[in-house]
Amino acid sequence: MTSYLQKAGTRLFEKNLEQYQPEDPLYEFYTDKRGKQRRRRRAIPPGLSARDAKILKSVQRRAHYLDKGFSICGLRFGWTFIIGIIPGAGDVADVTLNYFLVVRKAREAELPAWLVRRMLLNNAISALSGLVPVAGDVVMAVFKANSRNAALLEEFLRIRGDEFLKLQAERAQGRGQSVSAKDSQQVKPGAGMSDDAAATAPQQKTRFVSWSRSNRKDKERAPAPGEKGRFVEDVELGAAAPSGEAESSAITVQKR
């Protein structure tokens, strides 16, 4: 009876926590044909460049291990909660990790300023709650700033991918651009595509020629008629001159 009540209490606790916790940034849950709940990796939104897809995968993976790497009694927590237990230094370390591992990486996707400010606000809320001993760490573990920032990045990149696919369809049909210039400047559909084209462009192979080998061949090759090289000019002058002058030129060559 006690074990049954404990399981029921744990399920109720998990259900209440789901109302406040953001979704797992790396995995999504689904129900298979047998009715069992399973998880799988989140699919990358279509229409993104390889650069944006790589950034999103990296942010999702880091946010998962920082916020949801462990689970006890339905409470999923990560390294930020464990490090935050350390007074003072733990809170500073959490703020540093949250920014450099998630926000800074997300900014590489050319995000608008308002979205970056929203991410920094989530980090500030997490940092302020961590200043309260014990209770603040629990609130920080439930709030999960990194998972929220990863969700913001995923939703923004999803919109970017949809707008890029829409523009491609409109160009194929010969229609004008339906997205306003202001929205296009904010969303930047197709951002990072130029980097992908540069990375996949065929590169010419550089052929290196041995300098010593070419010099050796030049030394073995006999000089062509009229070719001027080292001491060749003096020797030819000696051969063309009279005998007296030839001897003097030969002496000059020997002295050199």
**Pairwise CA distance, residues 61 & 18, whole Å:** 20
Taking 60 as the threshold, does the pLDDT of residue 26 lie above it? yes
Average pLDDT over residues 120-136: 88
Helical H segments across the chain, by residue range: 2-18, 50-67, 79-84, 89-98, 104-106, 113-130, 135-143, 145-173, 181-187, 193-200, 211-220, 232-240, 243-255
**Which tens digit of pLDDT belongs to each residue from 153-212?**
999 999 999 999 998 988 888 876 777 777 888 899 999 887 665 454 455 454 544 444
Taking 50 as the threshold, does the pLDDT of residue 40 lie above it? yes
113: left (phi over 0), alpha (psi -120 to 50) or beta: alpha
Q: What is the pTM for the complete model shown?
A: 0.67
**Which tens digit of pLDDT belongs to each residue from 228-246?**
554 444 444 444 445 554 4
Lookup: tokens for 235:
């020797």
The whole-number pLDDT of residue 233 equals 45
The percentage of residues in the chain with a pLDDT greater than 90, rounded to a whole number, is 32
The whole-number pLDDT of residue 225 equals 59
- Give the angle 216-219-225 at the CA atoms, nearest 5°: 145
Cβ distance 91 to 167 under 8 Å? no
